[in-house]
Amino acid sequence: MRVSQLLNPTLREVPAEAEVISHQLMVRAGLIRKSAAGVYTYLPLGLRILKKIESIVREEMDAKGGQEILMPVIQPAELWKESGRWEVYGAELFRLKDRHNREFCLGPTHEEIITDLIRGEVRSYKQLPLLLYQIQNKYRDERRPRFGLMRGREFIMKDLYSFDRDEAGLDESYQKMYDAYCRIFSRCGLAYRPVEADAGAIGGTGGTHEFMVLADSGENAVVYCSECNYAANVEKAECRPQVTEAVAVEGERKLLHTPEVRTIDEVCKLLNVPKTSLVKSLLYQGDDKLFLVLIRGDRELNEIKLNNALGGFVTLELAPPHVVEGILGCEPGFVGPVEVPVGLTVIADEEVPLMKNAICGANKTNYHFVNAVPSIEFRIDQVLDLRMMETGEACLKCGAPLKEARGIEVGQVFKLGTKYSKALGATYLDLNGEEKFCVMGCYGVGVSRSIAAAIEQNHDDFGIIWPMPIAPYHCIIVPVSTKDVLVVEAADKLYQELQRLGVEVILDDRDERAGVKFKDADLVGYPIRVTIGSKTLANGQVELRERKTGETQLVLVEEVAQQVKTIIEKALSF
């Protein structure tokens, strides 16, 4: 390809609406253009990157026995009503009606469609297992789409669904996909981690991993072990309770007048005690039920753990002040676990009953208790791991200190079990002629999102630094001058030679200043740049530069093609 003929409109300015670096660089490098909020056109270079990721994904799915299909974007509401998701999916589901007033949605996922397919086609255990996948557009009506491909309203995913005879079969399919995903992200040249994740709203029999591309700008916090392979989403990470020393307070439990002292910090300051000696008492409302939740003063409550433990409410939030007043008779800042009204369930984090004595609210505005003994004086109905993991804590598997990193979720593998096969009636006849539900798994890769994640992980002040396997072209040739015939000829010759060697090469033949060409080459992020200038060419040399390291070297004209090829082959070997 010649740059003079390529639709690659680069920009020097950062587009105003682009908040994240991947969005900024994709627009500036001329990879995408916005059609509507969260909806993009892929320009030629952007599409090449997308196709490369797609083909890596496709190869790995096929290698595990996946069969590619293509399901419709438009899905009938009936199926979503059958699975029970039409109501619960909420405003993010793009809904539409046809001319006969029949309801449809634009698919954000395809469990309903594929389960409907299988219930019609699979009769016998002999037809199982099945691994079916597609690479296709998905839709999600984001409230404020503003992160480019990171969180668009239209995006491209690979989704595979596994159908097995039983749980053992599902375990096998799950492992296959887990392994395939490791290969996919390694082959894309990305630094990633599979982490134990929260089952969240998809619902299922448990067992899920998220694949995180590590990047400082990532929206997910991940804890990982410095010694073993343990890694988990912070929301999921299991904590080991830690015992704290007793607070130095003499005598029995005492009611203390603490006017206007509401927060943990204010209590600590007034009484000159560490946060570890306090119990935070929070009245939570899960749908229409109320719970008093207790956690040590220095800890952060993990609402996802709480909601999972309580059985998964649609909404779980702190009860508003008037509800607190109504139930406990005080302002929220003075809620406590002593003498809680009968009927109100009290749930404590594992560390609370281990506290020897504690300071807590007294359920009386402007009063706290000191020297309360949790194991005796608190009526605790349930003890659970409810807190957020902190960096530096010991790994539950091996005891080494845990570290924290940030990541961007680009893939998820998920054991669904029989949730959808039961809801939609996808059954088969087993060896004994008995009717059984298919056991399902679902496995997604955010294909378009992976492009954004790759950029978030690989960029500098000058632009994108593509990992070789997903670079739009591997090598760009930059003739410094288009006026010097010798330079132009040498550039053309090298261009043809590299093409002959099978190198994906692009020639910047534009009549532009060298500085402009260099800036664009860095911005787009081609891994290798070969610069041809009259001065070095007079000595029979050209300049070879690697984008990632910035290292340049002078190479003999007749040797440069082979050298470029060697660098590429080395980077692509897996």
* Rounded least distance, CB 238 to Zn ion, Å: 12
Burial 249-275 (b: 16+ CB within 10 A, else e): beeebeebebeebbebeebbeebebeb
Strands 254-257 and 367-372: antiparallel
Cβ distance 361 to 255 under 8 Å? no
* Rounded least distance, CB 403 to Zn ion, Å: 10
Residue at 316: amino acid letter: L
Residue with tokens 């590429």: 568
Please tell me whether residue 147 binds Zn ion under the rule CB under 5 A: no
* Rounded least distance, CB 531 to Zn ion, Å: 47
Please tell me whether residue 43 binds Zn ion under the rule CB under 5 A: no
Q: Single out the segment in contact with Zn ion by CB under 5 A; choices: 217-225, 355-363, 382-390, 493-501.
A: 217-225
Q: Which is nearer to Zn ion, 78 or 227 (CB)?
A: 227
Please tell me whether residue 230 binds Zn ion under the rule CB under 5 A: yes
Rg (CA), the chain: 29
Q: Which is nearer to Zn ion, 74 or 398 (CB)?
A: 398
Q: Which is nearer to Zn ion, 398 or 486 (CB)?
A: 398
Strands 505-507 and 475-479: parallel
Please tell me whether residue 225 binds Zn ion under the rule CB under 5 A: yes
In order, the DSSP letters of 294-330 are: EEETTS-B-HHHHHHHHT--S-EEEPPHHHHHHHHSS
Site residues (CB under 5 A) for Zn ion, limited to 359-398: 395, 397-398
Strands 528-532 and 475-479: parallel
Alpha-carbon gap, residue 6 to 98, rounded angstroms: 40
User: Binding-site residue total for Zn ion (CB under 5 A)?
Assistant: 8
Alpha-carbon gap, residue 28 to 21, rounded angstroms: 10
* Rounded least distance, CB 391 to Zn ion, Å: 14
Please tell me whether residue 402 binds Zn ion under the rule CB under 5 A: no
Cα 570–Cα 571–Cα 572 angle in degrees, nearest 5: 95
Cβ distance 198 to 437 under 8 Å? no
Q: Single out the segment in contact with Zn ion by CB under 5 A; choices: 167-175, 230-238, 301-309, 469-477.
A: 230-238
Nearest CA to 157 out of 426, 409, 403 is that of 409
Alpha-carbon gap, residue 186 to 209, rounded angstroms: 16
* Rounded least distance, CB 196 to Zn ion, Å: 12
* Rounded least distance, CB 3 to Zn ion, Å: 49
* Rounded least distance, CB 207 to Zn ion, Å: 20
Q: Which is nearer to Zn ion, 231 or 451 (CB)?
A: 231
* Rounded least distance, CB 299 to Zn ion, Å: 22
* Rounded least distance, CB 401 to Zn ion, Å: 9
Please tell me whether residue 254 binds Zn ion under the rule CB under 5 A: no
Alpha-carbon gap, residue 282 to 274, rounded angstroms: 19
Please tell me whether residue 228 binds Zn ion under the rule CB under 5 A: yes
Q: Single out the segment in contact with Zn ion by CB under 5 A; choices: 27-35, 218-226, 272-280, 524-532.
A: 218-226
Q: Which is nearer to Zn ion, 196 or 512 (CB)?
A: 196
Q: Single out the segment in contact with Zn ion by CB under 5 A; choices: 131-139, 220-228, 264-272, 480-488.
A: 220-228
Burial 307-340 (b: 16+ CB within 10 A, else e): bbebeebeebeebeeeebeebbebebbbbbbbeb
Q: Which is nearer to Zn ion, 40 or 230 (CB)?
A: 230
Q: Under the rule (CB under 5 A), what is the footprint of Zn ion?
A: 225, 227-228, 230, 395, 397-398, 400
